[in-house]
Amino acid sequence: MRLVLPASAMAAIMLALAACSTVAEPAYYGDPVEGLDVAQRLCSSCHAIGREGTSPNPGAPPFRFILARNDPALLAEKLDEAVSINHLRMPTFYFGEHHAEDLVAYIKTIQQPQPAQLP
Ligand code: HEC
């Protein structure tokens, strides 16, 4: 027997399923250790990713000042969507699941107030 459902019923079912999965899935806050690993692999060629030091690419702000200028929640979203951030000089990244949250979790651990003049 073949069950044929009208499109509207299918849509309602899909929505219900989507709602369930969002409720069931625990919030993910990111793993800073994983984030450091991603930063080393994908970002450190341009950005200073630690608590000190200058960026290899003088135009790239050190990660320890990034949250002084960016909202952490929005940053994770932007990174996740691989939208180039504010500018066109950043490469597009393809992250694995959670890598954006991991990066932001790591970036949070090294934040410092931004100096008047970027080093
Ligand atoms: C090829 C060099 C390069 C790589 C690799 C790179 N960036 Fe950048 N990034 C830049 C440059 C240059 C800027 C600043 C340019 C500008 O804002 O116009 C920048 C700016 C940023 C900003 C905006 C900072 C701010 O305060 O406005 C964020 C966030 C950022 N990068 C995150 C990352 C992350 C996360 C990675 C690794 C996944 C990464 N970048 C890898 C070159 C790079």
Report the separation in Å between the CA atom of 58 and the middle of ligand 1, taken as the mean of its atom positions: 11
Query: What pLDDT is stored for residue 115 in this prediction?
Result: 78
Higher pLDDT, 23 or 29: 29
Ligand 1 pocket, 35 CB below 6 A? no
- Over residues 26-53, the pLDDT tens digits come to 678 899 999 999 999 989 999 999 999 9
Tokens 């410092």 locate to 112
**CATH of segment(s) 28-109:** 1.10.760.10
Cα gap 76→82, rounded to integer Å: 10
Report the separation in Å between the CA atom of 95 and the middle of ligand 1, taken as the mean of its atom positions: 15
pLDDT bracket for residue 99 (50, 70, 90): confident
Identify the helix (H) or strand (E) that includes residue 23: helix 7-24
Around 13, how many Cα atoms within 13 Å sit in the side-chain half-sphere? 6
Does pLDDT of 110 surpass 90?
A: yes
Q: What residues does each domain of the chain span?
A: 28-109
| Most informative mutation of 47, 77, 81, 102 for ligand 1 (most atoms within 8 A of CB) | 47
Query: What pLDDT is stored for residue 89 in this prediction?
Result: 59
Query: What pLDDT is stored for residue 113 in this prediction?
Result: 86
Report which protein residue has its CA nearest ligand 1's atom 11.
Answer: 60
Whether the model clears a pTM of 0.85, i.e. scores above it, the answer is: no
